[in-house]
Amino acid sequence: MKLGVNIDHIATLREARKAEMPDVVMAAREAVLGGADGITVHLREDRRHIQDRDVWALKAEGHRLNFEMAATDEMISIAGSVLPAICCLVPEKRLEITTEGGLDVLSQMETIRNTIERLHDKNIPVSIFSDANRDQIQAAKDCGADYVELHTGVYANFTTPRQVEILQAMATFASSIGLGVNAGHGLTIENVLAICKIPEILELNIGHSIVSRAVFIGIRNAVSEMKYLLSQHV
């Protein structure tokens, strides 16, 4: 199972002072040295943490970049220029602290389909950040998505066997209709092992808990620790 490390909150700390540090590029280097298989960033419309210059700098470093984005013309244009390894379409609300749930594809099929087509024209694979909901996952497939990233936030909040069963069932369903399956949101060293045991999941994208651990043990060690746990799923 691969590990994508989200470094948004390195930029959150930097933007708190509008300073030059901490450096997100250095954070990405340390994450890769710790075993990260890719770097994830969410370029929000309000630019609250990651900035355009960060995306370009990370691309220039040659990182396997997972570009989280809203389905807007601006973001499609940026993605088409940067050419990340994959784009993940996510919902975005200006007042939310963090992403609160999966993208409601069913309510905006035409917009999502058009966005995916435009990204595919640039040979960029597309993932949909999705709740563990059969209809939303099917809608993602119908719109042409290549992957779904299952929202694990509900599991992270409650961590019950039932939530694991739901994620397992939806991962199996997504895989059965030809979608690659990733997952993420709220995962920590305390709750990740149950998710690691879901065989259809190819990659986890984890950010806040790794950055939080890094305050005490450093990014490289925090990533290495998480990567080790991901290797225990067999």
Choice among 9, 30, 42, 200 that is catalytic: 42
Which residue, chain included where needed, has tokens 């199972």? Answer: 1
Q: State the Cα–Cα distance between residues 192 and 180, nearest whole angstrom.
A: 19
List the structure tokens of 100: 């609160």
Please report the sign of the dihedral spanned by the C-alpha atoms of residue 170, residue 172, residue 177, residue 178: positive
68 is catalytic: yes
Tokens of 217: 């043990």
Q: How many CB atoms lie within 10 A of CB 33?
A: 12
Catalytic residue among 30, 68, 149, 200: 68
Could you tell me the two tokens for 75? 């973001």
Classify burial at 143, counting beta carbons within 10 Å of its beta carbon; exposed 0-12, middle 13-18, buried 19 or more: buried
233 is catalytic: no
- Active-site residue identified among 30, 185, 200, 203: 185
42 is catalytic: yes
CA distances from 69 to 83, 196, 220 (A): 13, 25, 26
Rounded distance between C-alpha atoms, residue 216 and residue 221, angstroms? 10
Dihedral sign for Cα 145, 147, 153, 154, please: positive
What Å distances lie between residue 190 and 4, 80, 157, 213, 218, CA to CA?
18, 37, 12, 12, 18
**Catalytic residue IDs:** 42, 68, 185
